[in-house]
Structure 1
Amino acid sequence: MATQGNAEIRGDERGTLLIFLAGQRAAVRRAVLGLTDEQAAATPSVSALSLSGLVKHVAETEQGWVARARRVAPDMQRTEANWADSFRLVGDESVESALAYWDKVALATEEFIRSCRASTTRSRCPAITGRRTRRRCPCGGCCSI
């Protein structure tokens, strides 16, 4: 699992972002703690979304964000034909395998975020501000420097 810690430098948004992400991941993980695959796949309300589907969806979404920031294709290409599969476990997928995948995604996210330069009030990631930049940071091009 990705590490959780304090921001390294006062005002460094990377540390703050990593702590926030770790907290959000932990909340979702706690929701499936101790549940069987069948229990986690249950949809006891009118929604078709289950806890196991939520785990899979947030893992794929996080991986997709980082992939797009790196300007590469996400691991899973979703189309209209397979879009619903991003919200439920299919085939031999299990809660355990979805959580293991998410652990790998979390480590890759942490590595990526730590490779980016911290944004300041004058320089922010174009993915957030919508601004374009001509210079690239070590992360592969998402951040202005």
Structure 2
Amino acid sequence: MTSHQNPADGERADLLETLTKHRGFLRHTVRGLSDEQAARRTTVSELCLGGLIKHVANVEARWMRFAVGGAAAMRSEPIDWEGQFRMDPGETLDGLLDAYERVARETDELVATLPDLGLTHPLPEAPWFEPGASWSVRRVLFHIIAETSQHAGHADIIRESLDGAKTMG
């Protein structure tokens, strides 16, 4: 390591490489689909492939707002808790993928330029968070990676149910 390198540069690269890999799995799962196929539910779940892309993009954007400005920034845009998992009339898979790509670029740029991944903010009050807990930017990135990976697995099941295609194998 040269004297001008940030010791966390390797960590940032590892986090972004892992996130990029799981984003790629999710994107790969929707390859070659029509908008109708991307909007179709193939299981008893409300999930569809386009809705998963939309949800993961929204989650990533929301958590990165938290990473910079805390709970107030995270809540700065409304959340459609039910609609975030489905494609609305007029939405296209290409449009959702483009929005996801913009979010990914913004996240990657932010992670590369934030002065400290250890910066923490108190979590918003919610029944699923420990009262009074705080998360660092680093912890937020771990959460985004886990969320993306989990939903890439969901997408793989939906795609296999749709037409037999698999992300892996």
Alpha-carbon distance change, 106 to 11 in structure 1, aligned in 2, over 3 angstroms: closer
- Cα 1:95/1:76, change in 2 over 3 Å: farther
**Aligned residues of 2:63 and 2:74 also touching (Cα < 8 A):** no
Decide which structure has greater helix share: 2
| Change in 2 beyond 3 A, CA 1:94/1:125 | same
Cα pair 2:52 2:86 within 8 Å, conserved: yes
Structure 1 residues 41 and 109: alpha-carbon distance in aligned structure 2, compared to 1, 3 A threshold: same
Matches within 5 A, 1:102-141: 102-117=100-115, 119=117, 124-126=118-120, 130=134
Aligned length: 120
CA contact (8 A) 1:37 1:95 kept: yes
Q: Which runs of 4+ in 1 moved over 6 A?
A: 8-11
- Deviation track 1:19-40 (CA, whole Å, cap 9, x = no partner) reads 0110111001011000101111
What letter matches 1:56 in structure 2? K
- Contact 2:55 / 2:85 at 8 angstroms: preserved in 1? yes
**Does the 8 Å CA contact 1:59/1:102 hold for their aligned counterparts?**
yes
Identity of matched residues, % = 31
Q: In structure 2, what is the equivalent of residue 94 of structure 1?
A: 92
The answer to whether the 8 A contact 1:67-1:73 is kept is yes
TM-score normalised by L of structure 1: 0.71
How much has 1:118 moved relative to structure 2?
5.5
Structure 2: stretches of 5+ with no match in the other structure: 1-5, 124-132, 139-169
SS of aligned partner of 2:78: coil
Query: How far apart are the structure 1 equivalents of 2:49 and 2:78?
Result: 22
* Alignment correspondent of 2:160: none
Structure 1 residue 63: Cα displacement: 0.5
- 1:105 deviates by 0.3
CA distance in 2, matches of 1:76, 1:92: 21
Q: Does 1:31 align with 2:29?
A: yes
Unpaired segments of 5 or more residues in structure 1? 1-7, 133-141
> Do the aligned partners of 1:63 and 1:75 also contact (CA within 8 Å) in 2?
no
Contact in 2 for aligned 1:50/1:88 (Cα 8 Å): yes
> How far apart in 1 are the matches of 2:35 and 2:75?
26
Q: Which has the higher contact order (CA 8 A, sep 6+)?
A: 2
Report the residue type matching 2:92 in the other structure. S
Give the superposition deviation at 1:94.
0.8
TM-score normalized by structure 2?
0.62
Kindly state the Cα deviation for residue 117 of structure 1 after the two structures are TM-superposed: 3.5
